[in-house]
């Protein structure tokens, strides 16, 4: 019998469950931030990833096409490109189509990268919700068209990701040319899923993007709950359920981001049973209604959309998150050292309480002294 122990990794580091690096920076005045800030910060944490996935998201990237959807699509065959373009042209007026400018010498065997600026054909909506219309067609391409994957599809937003270290991905997409008011970045160490181009972070739907460090052990029940509402979870990464969950809660059901955080990182039942205030009753109702969206397992996420960036950890902080601010910029990071590299002088630095979101918005800068806001009752749900 062959001695298989000789083939095993004797260092035991082939699965590092606490790996992955995340970083986010937002200028709350909307001033542009050079890509170099995010690139340098995430590259400093290179020892947290293994080169099997890296990526960036940038908001305010295409001001000249701000009212059009910017689709970033990767192809592994020309037939996949033809099929996708035929399908998209049935629902969208494509204003501009172009290959994305890349440095092919940086990463070998990369997919074909194309960018499309488009708006929905008015005759195809027929009174339907436009955002839902776009989301459904994005998911159709990603699940039903061979050799094609839409990895970014929001307005004035660009996602750039792939297999490689984040610095390699930045060079491949030539990100040094770009500036935006909000950047998120991710260095991946896959634990339960393969390292492939579509599975790299950020994960995106419409203008939502998510970067994630940790493991979602509740993926199965989260997936089944979301499938009841038409979401298709097929991308071999637990991060997609986070993006779908916030899309369902905020866009479709009308909850605030603060309330959505109380769903995905809900208080313990033991804490809710200690009082019978109106706020506690609302939290109990949320827990019962959306129990299938509670995220179990260790995690830290940065969730972003146009004009907003959110940092959130699991309830007992099993994954790191550091928050800092300087002037009009807010920073979120796995490590304080990455923030200090790009901003040595800081006005405020803190570690947030587990399960309580840190939310920056255009015109609003959070601080370490902020009180936790009570949950709100949604004005409407549909």
Within a 13 Å sphere around the CA of 239, how many CA atoms are in the beta-carbon half? Answer: 27
Highest average pLDDT, of 7-11, 44-48, 262-266, comes from: 262-266
Higher pLDDT, 181 or 281: 181
pLDDT at residue number 267: 84
Q: Please, are residues 154 and 207 in contact by the beta-carbon 8 Å criterion?
A: yes
Residue 209 banded pLDDT, cuts 50, 70, 90 = very high
pLDDT at residue number 194: 66
198-226 mean pLDDT = 92
> Domains, the chain, ranges and CATH?
17-211+295-361 (3.60.20.10)
Kindly report, residue by residue over 300-341, the tens digit of the pLDDT: 999 999 999 999 999 999 999 999 999 999 999 999 999 999
245-265 mean pLDDT = 96
Residue 271 CA to residue 258 CA, distance in Å, equals 18
pLDDT at residue number 193: 64
pLDDT at residue number 12: 46
pLDDT at residue number 191: 60
Lowest mean pLDDT among 7-21, 81-95, 97-111, 121-135: 7-21
For residue 249, pLDDT over 60 is answered with yes
Highest average pLDDT, of 247-251, 313-317, 365-369, comes from: 247-251
Q: Is position 20 annotated as part of the catalytic site? A: yes
Residue 372 banded pLDDT, cuts 50, 70, 90 = low
Q: Please name the helix (run of DSSP H) or strand (run of DSSP E) that holds residue 150, with its range, or none.
A: strand 148-152
Query: For residue 330, which of 370, 373, 364 has the smallest C-alpha distance?
Result: 364
pLDDT at residue number 6: 42
Residue 92 CA to residue 69 CA, distance in Å, equals 9
pLDDT at residue number 278: 84
Count other C-beta atoms under 10 Å from residue 106's C-beta. 17
pLDDT at residue number 126: 84
> Active site residue: 4, 6, 14, 20, which one?
20
Q: Please, are residues 332 and 351 in contact by the beta-carbon 8 Å criterion?
A: no
Sole residue written with tokens 């993007």: 209
Residue 86 CA to residue 71 CA, distance in Å, equals 14
Kindly report, residue by residue over 191-206, the tens digit of the pLDDT: 666 677 888 889 999 9
222-240 mean pLDDT = 88
> What average pLDDT does the structure give for the chain?
89
Q: Tokens standing for 309? A: 């960036």
CA quadruple 197, 200, 201, 207: dihedral, nearest 10: 30
Lowest mean pLDDT among 117-121, 270-274, 279-283, 365-369: 270-274
What is the model's pTM? 0.90
DSSP class per residue in 277-325: -HHHHHHHHHHHHTGGGPPPSSEEEEEEETTEEEEEE-TT--S--EEEE
pLDDT at residue number 371: 63
Q: Tell me how far the alpha carbon of residue 199 is from its chain's centroid.
A: 11
For residue 109, pLDDT over 50 is answered with yes
Report the percentage of the chain scoring pLDDT > 70: 90
pLDDT at residue number 162: 92
287-298 mean pLDDT = 94
Pairing of strands 203-205, 208-214: antiparallel
Q: Is the peptide bond before 23 cis (omega within 30 degrees of 0)?
A: no
């Amino acid at each position: 019998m062959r001695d298989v122990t000789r083939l095993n990794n004797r260092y035991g580091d082939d699965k590092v469950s606490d790996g992955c690096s995340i970083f986010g920076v937002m200028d709350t005045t909307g001033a542009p931030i050079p890509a170099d800030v995010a690139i340098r910060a995430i590259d400093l944490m290179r020892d947290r990833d293994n080169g099997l996935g890296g990526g960036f998201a940038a908001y305010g990237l295409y001001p000249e096409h701000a009212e059009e959807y910017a689709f970033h699509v990767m192809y592994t065959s020309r037939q996949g490109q033809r099929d996708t373009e035929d399908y998209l042209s049935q629902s969208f007026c494509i204003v501009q189509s172009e290959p994305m400018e890349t440095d092919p010498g940086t990463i070998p065997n990369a997919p074909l990268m194309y960018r499309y600026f488009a708006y929905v054909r008015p005759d195809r909506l027929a009174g339907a919700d436009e955002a839902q219309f776009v989301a459904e067609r994005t998911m159709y391409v990603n699940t039903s068209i061979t050799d094609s994957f839409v990895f970014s599809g929001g307005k004035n937003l660009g996602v750039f990701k792939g297999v490689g270290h984040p610095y390699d991905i930045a060079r491949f997409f030539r990100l040094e040319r770009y500036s935006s008011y909000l950047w998120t970045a991710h260095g991946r160490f896959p634990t339960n899923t393969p390292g492939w181009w579509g599975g790299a972070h950020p994960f995106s739907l419409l203008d939502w993007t998510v970067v994630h460090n940790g493991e979602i052990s509740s993926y199965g029940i989260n997936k089944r709950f979301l499938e009841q509402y038409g979401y298709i979870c097929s991308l071999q990464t637990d991060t997609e359920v986070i993006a779908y969950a916030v899309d369902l809660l905020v866009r479709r059901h009308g909850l605030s981001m603060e309330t959505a955080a109380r769903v995905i990182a809900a208080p313990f039942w033991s804490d809710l049973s200690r009082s019978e205030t109106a706020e506690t009753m609302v939290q109990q109702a949320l827990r019962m209604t959306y129990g299938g969206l509670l995220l179990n397992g260790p995690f830290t996420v940065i969730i972003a959309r146009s004009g907003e960036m959110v940092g959130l950890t699991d309830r007992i902080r099993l994954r790191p998150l550091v928050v800092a601010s300087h002037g009009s910029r807010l920073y979120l990071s796995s490590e304080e050292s990455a923030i200090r590299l790009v901003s040595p002088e800081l006005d405020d630095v803190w570690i947030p309480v587990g399960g309580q979101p840190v939310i920056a918005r255009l015109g609003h800068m959070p601080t370490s002294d902020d009180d936790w806001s009570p949950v709100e009752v949604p004005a409407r749900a549909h």
